[in-house]
Structure 1
Amino acid sequence: MTIQLEVCIDNLESLHNAQQAGATRIELCSSLALGGLTPSAGFMSAAAKYATIPVYAMIRPRQGDFLFSSDDVEIMLADIFAAKQAGLQGVVVGVLTAHGLVDNDILTSLVKQAQGMGITFHRAIDQCAKPMAALDTIMAAGCERILTSGLQANAYDGIGMINQMHQHCGNHLKIMAGAGVNSHNVRDIIARTGINEIHLSGKTTRPSHMIMVAKQAHMGSADIDDFAIPITGIANIAAVVAQLKL
């Protein structure tokens, strides 16, 4: 069984690292520390230029919940258009109602805008009140996969639900496990769920190449080191790839 390995990234350095390590698809984001937001148009274009594997752009205009206003939707539609214009292969979306159901009206409009592209429904499903009904709505809308941790904090703890989702959808919707996937648990997750797609960041940090390091002024929270650059770790992804080949 061929396993698809999607790596989520938020900078171009990580794109090169993920490809070198053996990723088979990229989820392109900004602000992974916030769960992933929409990448810039420039980032989309650069990714399309340098990627040798499919790239899917996250379409999420802000941090927080997945209850989006009409203004949010306007932005999302424009960002999907930008992803298509950049030449990316797909987009990643997720929209809910106030009661925790998939917002079918908004999802339908996003899918229509993304016609001709692949569509992943992201971990908004992990905050759904009725996950199996959500799967039916997502399948009917024309999405090709969902990304899920099985409604738990991480995919390993959600193995039971991921398996149920896989059994429910069969060949109609791919189930991709994400959140906390690593080289130590990836084989167990695949074996116990029957899925063939996984998602991770393989994140690590590298030190800044700055010679002059200004410690007194912070660009954001003082708890975040501006001179530790978050990147996808080649060794982390390669270790997962090695487990998939055993």
Structure 2
Amino acid sequence: MTRRLLEIASNSVASALAAQAGGADRIELFDNLAEGGTTPSHGSIALARERLRIPLFVLIRPRPGDFHYGALEVDIMLRDVAQCRALGCDGVVIGALDADGGIDIAVCHELVQAAGPMQVTFHRAFDAARDLRSALEQVIALGCQRVLSSGGQASAEAGADRLASLVAQATGRVRVMAGAGLNADNIATVAARSGCQELHASAKAVQRSAMRHQNPALIGLSADWTATDTANVAALRAALDT
């Protein structure tokens, strides 16, 4: 059996390096994990490219919320894609929908063209589309190399059967990558049920602050944060390989 590819969603350069150390095959770099991810800073992208030995893909998303973008946001995304290309990234992760839940062909075509030689993943805007079968054909026509999906469900485990249907529909024209809610306990099962050869997970864990002083007046402002954990990545890799 072909070795399954493990992509780790990393919300910082430190997370990306932890993922690499744990056995990840590829990084998706982004910011603002709690809001579903947005485009990371220039400094984060540049440093990640310098330090990583594995492929680096960057999320292109100008804000949280829906995936229906105005002209100003499209211009931002095009500039971010150009930045990734100039920095030598291996790929970008894009997606846009029209107001009726279809793939926004015009916007996505611009983004794919701007990517040039970089690979393009269509992100989970796909799962928010009105009709996944039609959306998959549109993603293929755009020339994307892969689509990240949970089968339209809250988790890839819940959507595993739908993912299998999408894999069958794709017939090798695009790679369907399973993602959302994957961990060491379910990733192998989801891979087997869905037939996906690429799996996407965050492998995150809470990082405790080393601050000895914290202002008690700042109620609700936690000093802790969430980041990729090397041991969690290694557990995912072992589960897939076993």
- TM-score normalized with structure 1 length: 0.96
1:210 aligns with 2:203: no
Superposed displacement of residue 177, structure 1: 0.5
User: 1:125 matched to which residue of 2?
Assistant: 126
Q: Which runs of 5+ in 1 are unaligned?
A: none
- 1:195-225, CA deviations, whole angstroms, 9 ceiling, x for partnerless residues? 110001011112112232223236xxx2x51
User: 1:12 matched to which residue of 2?
Assistant: 13
Superposed displacement of residue 12, structure 1: 1.6
User: 2:188 matched to which residue of 1?
Assistant: 187
Secondary structure of the residue aligned to 2:233 is helix
The answer to whether the 8 A contact 1:121-1:145 is kept is yes
The answer to whether the 8 A contact 1:22-1:237 is kept is yes
- 1:100-159, CA deviations, whole angstroms, 9 ceiling, x for partnerless residues? 000101110000100110000000011111111111111111100000010000000001
4+ long deviations beyond 3 Å:
none
CA distance in 1: counterparts of 2:200 and 2:125, whole angstroms: 15
- TM-score normalized with structure 2 length: 0.97
1:59 aligns with 2:55: no
Aligned partner letter, 1:231: A
User: 1:90 matched to which residue of 2?
Assistant: 91
For residues 212-231 of structure 1, the aligned pairs below 5 Å read 212-217=213-218, 222=220, 224-225=221-222, 227-231=223-227
CA distance in 2: counterparts of 1:80 and 1:145, whole angstroms: 17
The answer to whether the 8 A contact 1:41-1:86 is kept is no
CA distance in 2: counterparts of 1:72 and 1:229, whole angstroms: 28
CA distance in 1: counterparts of 2:90 and 2:133, whole angstroms: 27
CA distance in 2: counterparts of 1:80 and 1:176, whole angstroms: 21
CA distance in 2: counterparts of 1:175 and 1:27, whole angstroms: 15
CA distance in 1: counterparts of 2:65 and 2:22, whole angstroms: 31
- 1:163-202, CA deviations, whole angstroms, 9 ceiling, x for partnerless residues? 0100000111000000001111111111111111000101
Aligned partner letter, 2:6: L
Which segment is superposed worse, 230-239 or 65-74? 230-239
Q: What number of residue pairs does the alignment pair up?
A: 241
Superposed displacement of residue 72, structure 1: 0.5
Superposed displacement of residue 21, structure 1: 0.4
Secondary structure of the residue aligned to 1:27 is strand
CA distance in 2: counterparts of 1:111 and 1:173, whole angstroms: 14
Aligned partner letter, 1:197: E
Aligned partner letter, 1:149: S
For residues 73-222 of structure 1, the aligned pairs below 5 Å read 73-217=74-218, 222=220
Superposed displacement of residue 245, structure 1: 1.7
Superposed displacement of residue 32, structure 1: 1.0
Secondary structure of the residue aligned to 2:28 is strand
CA distance in 1: counterparts of 2:213 and 2:88, whole angstroms: 38
The answer to whether the 8 A contact 1:17-1:233 is kept is yes
Secondary structure of the residue aligned to 1:76 is helix
1:236 corresponds, among 220, 223, 232, to 232
Q: Which runs of 5+ in 2 are unaligned?
A: none
Aligned partner letter, 1:170: T
